Structure 1
């Protein structure tokens, strides 16, 4: 199912042009218009899902089954030394398009325009606290 005003659904339906690098019945991969590094590619399910929380198991399987092949092709073309895979869910995490998408960002060196950095807070969790958190998450699965 497509969402009427979703730009990625329109791209998947070929209503808006894109620089496509891969397509099958369930998945589309195309170059991001805002290239962080050469070859920066977005991989989307054609079935609309706002974010990872809404992504069906079937769509997730289809998307992630294509990622190694697409990543290898990007690496071979760009000569990248590494690759970041990134998906933002929710505005607080930086999601700007409400259609699940995975960024494949080829990396050439540490100063190539992309950086993922987080700070570890001084809060230390005891083994018991970690066990409680893990158990609580596990119980929701």
Structure 2
């Protein structure tokens, strides 16, 4: 069952979205957000511009543009944070909006060697620290 547009976290750009993430910028066909929960330093979300779209429903051009946005963000995160591995997650069981989690992981860091936790609620930062992370990511874009 798909989430109605009127209830979509990303489309409504509401208080809940802003309590979870900080918008970094617009990309070619997506928006880039930094998660406020930073157990995985630099964890971001690339959110497709249109609501209710499944990955397989995109045209070749749309899919390539979305994946180009994802790759561009991953490269910026790799440059900024030099993780041992970047995990990618495209979940949307309860939210019908195409998005891709970009999760940098470090060998001695939180959750390395396993599936990343969606929202572990272990690490939040100061406003200045969020700004610093965002600037590091933007430099790589």
Do these two structures clear the TM 0.5 threshold for a shared fold by scoring above it? yes
Distance verdict in 2 for CA 1:49–1:62, change over 3 Å: farther
SS at match of 2:111: coil
User: Which is higher, the Rg of structure 1 or of structure 2?
Assistant: 1
User: CA RMSD of the aligned region, Å?
Assistant: 3.0
TM-score normalised to the size of structure 2?
Answer: 0.61
Q: Show the counterpart of 1:70.
A: 73
Counting matched residue pairs gives: 108
Q: CA deviation at 1:36?
A: 4.1
Which deviations, in whole Å up to 9, do the C-alpha atoms of 1:59-111 show, x marking residues without a partner? 4222101122211111122121210111125xxxxx34321111100011165
Q: Which runs of 5+ in 1 are unaligned?
A: 90-94, 118-141
Q: Which has the higher contact order (CA 8 A, sep 6+)?
A: 2
Q: TM-score normalized by structure 1?
A: 0.61
Partner of 1:49: 52
